[in-house]
Structure 1
Amino acid sequence: MSTTRGRTSRPTGRPPLTDERKAEIRLEIARAAVDLFVTQGVTATTGEQIGAAVGVSARTVWRYFPSKESCVRPLFSAGIDMIADCLRRWRPGQPVAELFDQELADEDHLLAGPDRATVGALVRLTRTEPGLRAIWLQTYDEAEPAFARALAERAGLSADDLRPTIQAAIFNAALRAAVEHYAWHTAGIDADRDTAQTELAATLRSALTVVGEGVV
């Protein structure tokens, strides 16, 4: 801390944001973007509108995300770490669906943010919005190596071994297919929050049961 003519100078400006607060802001922006995309469409939504819904400037939105479509990414990727942790804990002979039962029941894990009925609407938009589809698929591409590392650790294999790599691809494809199946088959159904949560969890559990029958 320097002094000038006997006076002590103090740092000016706002204190830097913590990593935790930055993550919170990213999630707030993601939730606002989803609500706007679902209610008025992606094309009609602007960065200014997303920022206003959160109480920040459009400049802040672009500081966190390169495009308006990428704003939803935190919601798509929310469950990757949880799933990887579950796979590391997966005991030999344990039904894989049983492993995920507690997490599937927790709405803050696999798909965090808006209620799951809204998430279904968002995933349906990936069919008609190329920008959202790219983010959706990119999220799963990035999840696969994390799942492969977890499965390799579980089996005591090298991270680049082919077996956990293939198993990770199977898990990844099953999870994506399950969420998309849920989204497509709930279109036009006015389900309440609890019903949507139960239906998505049941769909994911069914998909994991199928996977578990082929991965031992």
Structure 2
Amino acid sequence: MSAEAAESAASGAAPRRGRRPMSERRRTLQRLEISRAGIRLFREHGVAATSGDQIAEAVGLSARTFWRWFRTKESCVEPVLSLSIAAFVACLRRWPAERSLEQHLVADYRADADAEPGDGELVFDVVRMSAGEPALRAIWLVVQERAEPVLAAIVAERLGRDPDDVEVRVQAAALNAALRIATEDIAAATADGDQPSEELRARLSATVRAATRGVVAGDPVGPAGPG
């Protein structure tokens, strides 16, 4: 008898049967695997010609599992897109007091720990396809929108303000827009297969400079923005 079964017997509870519940970590990684496969299939065959069942088959899962985790086939792109947002948020959390945000992004921006080498290009693929696929565009914008409260909390802590202050919320929205615009610009610039290399950092830094007008830690954020 297993230790689990013995414990259940001692407590009078019936032993659990079947497979153990999937851990949150494993679920996250499996969703990422599905997301990568889905984006590749969308890129190769087009969104209309790709079904959710085909995506599930590509990673060796049942169609039932796919539809339990994703409401639509297009929504499977969300886990990979979220990695780019997570990397930006993590970079902001590491922002040192003595350095401007623009300088910090150039020096410190890096991929999320769960990202694989090709994930950046998959994000660009989704962004490119979203120009003609409203469902993909909606998901890209929703992923962006979800980041704003997190960015507001970081900005508020940095400046000693309340996250609900309208100036802080506007600053967070501007930072979010900077990330979106930089990503979309690089996606367009690399459509012919060129690799962005360090260009993403430089473009992100430039858009952040435009969004914040050079704000640094401790500078007040007023209704008219930083001076």
**What's the TM-score, normalizing by structure 1?**
0.84
Residue range with higher mean Cα deviation, 168-177 or 95-104: 95-104
Where does residue 202 of structure 1 map in the other structure?
202
| Deviation sequence 1:144-182 (CA, Å, 0-9, x none) | 111011111111211211121111011011110111111
Equivalent residues of 1:101, 1:205 under 8 A apart: yes
> How far apart are 1:93 and its partner, in Å?
5.4
Where does residue 47 of structure 1 map in the other structure?
52
Q: 2:173 matched to 1:169?
A: yes
Q: Which residue identity does 2:30 align to in structure 1?
A: I
Equivalent residues of 2:102, 2:205 under 8 A apart: yes
Does the C-alpha gap of structure 1 residues 97 and 109 become closer, same or farther in structure 2, counting only changes over 3 Å?
A: farther
Tell me how far apart the structure 2 counterparts of residues 102 and 32 of structure 1 sit (CA, whole Å). 32
Tell me how far apart the structure 2 counterparts of residues 123 and 56 of structure 1 sit (CA, whole Å). 26
- What secondary structure is seen at the aligned counterpart in 1 of 2:99? coil
- What secondary structure is seen at the aligned counterpart in 2 of 1:30? helix
Q: 1:17 aligns with which of 22, 28, 41?
A: 22
Tell me how far apart the structure 2 counterparts of residues 9 and 88 of structure 1 sit (CA, whole Å). 46
Q: 2:159 matched to 1:155?
A: yes
Does the C-alpha gap of structure 1 residues 102 and 92 become closer, same or farther in structure 2, counting only changes over 3 Å?
A: closer
Q: 2:135 matched to 1:99?
A: no
Tell me how far apart the structure 2 counterparts of residues 165 and 183 of structure 1 sit (CA, whole Å). 27
Residue range with higher mean Cα deviation, 163-172 or 77-86: 77-86
Where does residue 29 of structure 1 map in the other structure?
34
Tell me how far apart the structure 2 counterparts of residues 110 and 2 of structure 1 sit (CA, whole Å). 40
Residue range with higher mean Cα deviation, 172-181 or 82-91: 82-91
- What secondary structure is seen at the aligned counterpart in 1 of 2:48? coil
Residues matched between the structures, number = 207
Where does residue 118 of structure 2 map in the other structure?
114
Q: Once superposed, what is the RMSD of the aligned Cα atoms?
A: 2.5
- Gaps in structure 2 of 5+ consecutive residues: 1-7, 217-227
Q: 2:187 matched to 1:183?
A: yes
Tell me how far apart the structure 2 counterparts of residues 118 and 80 of structure 1 sit (CA, whole Å). 14
